[in-house]
Structure 1
Amino acid sequence: MELNEQQLRCKQEAASYTNQYVIPYAAFHDREERLHPEVIESLKSSGYLGSMIPKEYGGLGLDPISVGVLNEEIGRGCSSVRSLLTVHGMVAIAILKFGSEQMRSHWLPRLASGEVLGAFGLSEPGIGSDAKSIETQAEPEEDNYRLNGRKKWITMGLIADVFLIFAQVNDKPTAFLIERKSPGFGVQPIQGMLGVKGSMLAELHLEDCRVAKDSMLGRPGMGVSMVALHCLDYGRYTVAWGCVGLGQACLEASLSHAGSRQQFGVLLQDNQLIQKMLTEMIVEVKAARLLCYQAGYLKEVMDPDSIMETWTAKYHAADMVNKAAHRAVQILGAKGRSTESPVERFYRDARVNEIIEGTTQMHEMVIASYAASTHQSVQEEAVHS
């Protein structure tokens, strides 16, 4: 598949931006477990925080494939920075699709400019994949809702200004937009994670946190079945592209090392077993990228199959990047296990992609079940035709 002129320009600009503003700070993000303020400011000035927001609300209004290649390039540079784009975008598209016009007019321009940063609050200490069983409660009062509960593993929770929070309203999962400054809203840092250490995770505490009734997105009961699934589809898509970028970084580091390191009088790249590992990386990165292109194209033409293609792309890309990181460490040897090389960070960062936006096991259940039901429908149509 070929990119059109606008998409190619977006990819080139994103690559240049990543090389200049993201890669130089990636080791800092990993070491200090936070994003450098200059990177956040550069994201604001670049407009990339509004990549998924329509131009009428101050965003870039990029098409799905352009959003994808942007996340690929930034994912090539730093998974933590890419994670900000993902969760910020999940909040923005939720407001765009399910918020009132007043909510859209108020929040989207501020999200597009980076005046405020967004975070997605679904996971809880005891709830992950089983999203419908969230325990946070929102009790209706005369003019507002009173929320009590905890959210955990919230990406960018330490710096976000506005959160998309999911809670039960009379046993109906419901989505709310809650500001950080709301009374009864607290944030506790989570540190010491294996990888993507700059994603500034937090645990959120809601203790009699009161929010206005017009902070609800959609209606009671729409929280998981519509709002969360819509956001997670976007998140899954950008994570898949981020995996492609990280896989590409693993490949480039491996090619560079294999082309300069000599063993037994020959370059590593001339060793057939090393060539086999490089070939597998090359092919699998390309395959993952093509699956992402396919998902993006179907999103662009609004084909309902785009949802399942996104599941497929994320499943393969997450598997691919873990294999690529494993091979990269093997090719670099001791250097690959040292902070002397970014490959050590790539290896740790790769691991999270089989957990976030749906675990690998959830993907296997969904993809296989969908294929089985589709096959059965085809068989039944054949019988009745």
Structure 2
Amino acid sequence: MPDRVLEQYAPRPAGPRLSELRELVRGTIAGHADTWDTEGVIPVEVLRELGRTGVLCAQVDSAYGGLGATSLENGEFTAFVGGLCSSTRSVMTSQGMAAWAIRRLGDRRQRREQLPALAQGKLAAVAMSEPWAGSDLAAMRTELRPEGDTVVIHGRKCWTTAAVSSDLLVVFGRYQGGGAAVLVPTRAPGVRLRPVPAPVGCRAAGHAHIDLDGVRVPAADILGGGGPSISLLVTAALSYGRFSVAWGCVGILRACLAAAAGHAVTREQFGVTINRHQLVARHLAELYVAEQAATRSCEHASRCWDDNSPEVVAATVLAKYTSARHAAAGAATAMQILASAGADDHGVVARAFRDAKLMEIIEGSNEICQLLLAEHAISNTERDTVEGPTS
């Protein structure tokens, strides 16, 4: 592939510390993504190596030993990793969600004990979805029952990303009439992980179903003491997850655009390179527009996050919805441009074709995002009706 094509669609710089780590991460991942995808696993020593650099949860504050990246810096780095390997990016999303949940929901002691460990190699996953509670979080059945100075956990979780390699689970469930999240070691008695055998996409991300049968942990490991509604609790973790997935989709689009453009300027048909054929050129234009639209929506969401804007929730949902839709369509477009060259189930476009579809489902399906955005639109209309439109 010509260097000028790769450079044109190269990811933008992240923060200074993350930029320093980029080549280390590239060297760790590049050349291995297809093997990991085929074998269905990222070696745990690779994840620990990445974890020790802090990149798996780069927004952990420097006071806790983290990189202290802004949302925008971490987002661009997430896109960089997503362009190399969506399975690794999925582990980043899981680790970041766990760290964010502890930061938002945990007390001072829990933050002091857990965040430095997560920023330095301890691996974590968030156990949220259940067989009977996917989008409908209010239907969650996992029970956290207090018994003296302990809490006993009974329930089932499904499709928990990175659970296979994790040391720690952040488990959400019902607790004393409300909801709570509790820290559960994956090796605690009563925890049983059942790896998902053949996921369609992000095959190496370590997805697992989890059985929690009478798991007993200290009551002090309930994050922040528990109490709020399950929906309110889960929103804290989901917002980070949606933000991370959205930026990961930007990475998918950039990788697909680089691969498709590189193929188009070297592949000849009917005496010219195929980028000279107008229908192929249209495909490339659509891919470029998709990457730009996804990038801009993610940048807006990150700026809202960094500025503590009241619009951050809606902006994050918008970014996730926009980026996931474009990634799924863009990967299909790249596959069309590569044609038989992309039909082998290896390589960045083939992986993107499978991985991107899952992005339209996880952390809020396209349909759930549409409902949330419709509610936001109605809320804005009602506010403008009462207050008058803003200039």
* TM-score (normalizing by structure 2): 0.92
Q: How many residues align?
A: 378
Residue 120 (structure 2) aligned to one of 83, 108, 113: 113
The one of 368, 374, 377 equivalent to 1:371 is: 377
Residue 343 of structure 2: which of 337, 356, 361 is its match?
Answer: 337
Tell whether the 8 Å contact from 2:342 to 2:349 is kept in structure 1 after alignment.
yes
Deviating 4+ runs (over 6 angstroms): none
**Change over 3 Å in CA distance of 1:14–1:237 after alignment to 2:** farther
* Equivalent residues in 2 for 1:268-307, closer than 5 Å: 268-307=274-313
Residue 103 of structure 2 corresponds to 96
1:324 equivalent in alignment to 2:330: yes
* 1:208 maps onto 2:188 in alignment: no
Counterparts in 2 of 1:213 and 1:194: CA distance versus 1, 3 Å: same
- Seen in structure 2, the aligned counterparts of structure 1 residues 91 and 45 have a Cα distance that, compared at 3 Å, is closer
Any idea what SS the aligned residue of 2:141 has? coil
- The one-letter amino acid paired with 1:39 is V
* Aligned alpha-carbon RMSD (Å): 1.8
Contact 2:260 2:334 in 1 (8 A): yes
Which SS does the other structure have where 1:196 is aligned? Answer: coil
TM-superposed deviation, 1:179: 1.1
Alpha-carbon offset, residue 46 of structure 1: 2.8
Distance 1:41 1:220 in 2: 30
CA distance in 1, matches of 2:346, 2:178: 51
In the TM superposition, what is the alpha-carbon distance from 1:238 to its structure 2 partner? Answer: 0.8
Q: Are 2:85 and 1:78 equivalent residues in the alignment?
A: yes
Q: Relative to structure 2, which stretch is displaced further, 39-48 or 11-20?
A: 11-20
The one-letter code of the counterpart of 2:282 is K
Shift of 1:64: 0.8
Partners of 1:113 and 1:19 in 2: CA distance = 19
- Deviation of the 1:177 alpha carbon: 1.0
Instruction: Give CA-to-partner distance per residue, 1:47-102, whole Å, 9 cap, x none.
Output: 21341211111110101101101100000000000011111111111112221222
Q: Could you list the per-position Cα deviations for residues 100-131 of structure 1 after superposition, in whole angstroms to 9, with x for gaps in the alignment?
A: 222112111111101x2010001011210111
Shift in Å, 1:225 = 3.5
CA distance in 1, matches of 2:267, 2:332: 18
Paired position in structure 1 for 2:183: 177
Question: How has the CA–CA distance of structure 1 residues 169 and 8 changed in structure 2, closer, same or farther, with 3 Å as cutoff?
Answer: closer
CA distance change for structure 1 residues 20 and 96 in 2, over 3 Å: closer, same or farther?
same
Tell me which amino acid in the other structure corresponds to 1:43. Answer: L
Question: Counterpart of 1:237?
Answer: 243
Identity of aligned residues (%): 33
2:148 counterpart (137, 142, 151): 142
Structure 2: tracts of 5 or more residues without a match: 1-11
Aligned to 2:357: 351
Displacement of 1:135 after TM fit? 0.8
Change (3 A) 1:129 1:278: same
Could you say which residue in structure 2 is the equivalent of 1:52? 59
1:22 to 20, 25, 29: 29
| Contact 2:201/2:351, CA 8 A, preserved across alignment | yes
Alpha-carbon distance, 1:9 to partner: 4.0
Indicate the residue corresponding to 1:63 in structure 2: 70
Query: Is the alpha carbon distance of 1:149 and 1:8 closer, same or farther for their aligned partners in structure 2, counting shifts above 3 Å?
Result: closer
More displaced, 346-355 or 220-229? 220-229
Displacement of 1:157:
0.9
CA deviation vs aligned residue, 1:215-246 (integer Å, no higher than 9, x gap): 11134432633332111101100110000001
